[in-house]
Structure 1
Amino acid sequence: MESPRAPHPWNVTPTEAVALQKRLREQLILEPPPGLRVTRLAGADISTEKGNDTGYGGMVVLDAQTLQPVARAVATATLTFPYVPGLLSFRELPVLAAVWERLTVRPDVLVFDGQGTAHPRRVGIACHGGLLFDIPSIGCAKSLLVGTPGKLAERRGATSPITHKGEVVGMAVRTRTGVSPVYVSPGHRMDLDTAVEWVLKVSPRYREPETTRHAHRLVNAFRRAGGEAAEMAEGSPG
């Protein structure tokens, strides 16, 4: 498959990364492509272990109707950027870029286990990744990085805007009745309403979307195997 676009070098300092984020923000398109038709969605995740500078990345593509896996890929890369809150994409995206090159089936939407615009500079990993892979993208996080949601009803499907500095940056979304919400925000080529709609569609039973659940299981198995799992990169979901 084609390689992702390279919008900038990865060997940057945290200060340079912040400056890059401000430039990347200007490139974001916060609305979906006209007539967006979603037949496949993918989840992306990486796994790491303490004392090891290897990142184990994976993506799983799901059929949008059945939510069954149709393709997956894994790859490893050395983590060279430090762990800095708000700069997660500079640490993880080089790993996911290697995965993207091996993915044999392209999704229509990519869901990241992290933030989109609900970010101090409005450029979370879902925004950065959407730009890198030129794909509609969604951030779906388990915790808030910035902002405050309003009161949220207990029922599944309840939503409450997340505001930060007077701006709506995302939405708290209850994917299971009586269970803590997830925090959804658009990445690139996506708007908030469409992002929320798809997160609810791909979260029929659990708090986390199926995209994230499949990707999380894949990368943890890949890490436990020490990265020795070439068959995981094949198109078959088995």
Structure 2
Amino acid sequence: MTTIRTPADEAEARAVQDELRRLVVLDEAGPAAGTGLVTGVDVAYDDERDIVAAAAVVLDAATLDVVDRATAVGRVAFPYVPGLLAFREIPTVLAALDALTSEPGLVVCDGYGRAHPRRFGLASHLGVLTGLPVIGVAKNPFTFSYEQPADRRGDFSPLLADDGEEVGRALRTQDGVKPVFVSVGHRTDLDTACAHTLRLARDFRIPETTRQADTLCRQALRDAVEGTRGN
């Protein structure tokens, strides 16, 4: 695992992104959808108290049954800056992953990988630091353009940068619902990332990994906040 660095300011954070971006692996397909283990990670904040809670939930990729879960709570160590959110989340997410008793397999972030202004969102950052295959599945696009995909589950359209580069896909996970936005993080390709997303979004718009991790990190945050009130 690459050493975690907490930058002192925005300029240093961007320099760290530039340095780590060179380590992103984009020429691997990644594990096949529906095989092995897949882990969702998510975070919740209490901005008033500067508390961040992270959750990691491991699912069997074939059945979507929960295999393992873990949480971690920490202090927000970096201010809110669009495009630099990973620096607020990474330390606590890594702690949650480290607390798992099983291997994570493929990791799914509620956020971006290549679909990021600097081509280095949370999914890429986490992948480089852990060496794991990671994808990003976001609820909303960041700064990129796309056309609405057709209405059926599995339909997609490219998520395009200003220069025409395809940085991700708007993917319809359920008939007639809003798409999600899939991008490669590390050690996967876009076709594989979309295949995993569809398998994980079996019943709902959002992947089951994200749904499970979201519920768990919110509970961990509530418990942490209650703990501070009791002190």
TM-score (norm 1): 0.90
Q: Kindly indicate whether residue 22 of structure 2 is the aligned counterpart of residue 26 of structure 1.
A: yes
Alignment match of 1:204 (pick from 190, 202, 205): 202
Q: What residue identity is the alignment partner of 2:71?
A: V
What is the alpha-carbon distance in structure 2 between the residues aligned to residue 33 and residue 149 of structure 1?
24
Among 159, 182, 185, the residue aligned to 2:183: 185
How many pairs does the alignment contain? 225
Deviation of 1:85 after TM superposition, in Å, equals 0.9
Check whether the contact 2:29–2:192 (CA below 8 A) recurs between aligned residues.
Answer: no
Instruction: Kindly provide the amino acid, as one letter, of the partner of residue 12 in structure 2.
Output: E
Contact 1:56 1:227 in 2 (8 A): no
In structure 1, what residue type is equivalent to 2:204?
A: Y
Summarize deviations over 1:88-115 as a string: whole Å, max 9, x none: 1111001111112211111210000000
Given the alignment, which residue of 79, 84, 88 partners 1:82?
Answer: 79
Q: What does the per-residue CA deviation read over 1:118-143, in whole Å, with 9 as the maximum and x for residues that have no partner?
A: 00010000000011111000000001
How far, CA to CA, are the matches of 1:158 and 1:35 in structure 2?
22
**Contact (CA 8 Å) 1:32, 1:136: kept in 2 or not?**
no
1:114 is aligned to: 111
AA in 1 matched with 2:6 = W
Match of 1:232 in 2: none
Deviation, 1:25, is 1.5
Matches within 5 A, 1:59-78: 59-78=56-75
Structure 2 gap ranges (5+)? none
Q: TM-score, normalised by structure 2?
A: 0.92
Say whether 1:127 aligns with 2:124: yes
Contact 1:75/1:227 (CA < 8 Å) preserved in 2? no
Paired with 1:96 and 1:163, the residues of 2 have a C-alpha distance of 28
* Percentage of pairs with the same residue: 42
Distance verdict in 2 for CA 1:24–1:57, change over 3 Å: same
Say whether residues 1:17 and 2:10 are aligned partners: no
* d(CA) in 2 for partners of 1:33, 1:161: 18
Return the letter of the residue paired with 1:16.
E
Distance in 1 (alpha carbons) for counterparts of 2:16 and 2:31: 31
Judging changes above 3 Å, is the alpha-carbon distance between structure 1 residues 168 and 217 closer, same or farther for their aligned structure 2 residues?
same
The aligned counterpart of 1:93 is 90
**Amino acid of the residue matched to residue 111 of structure 1?**
V
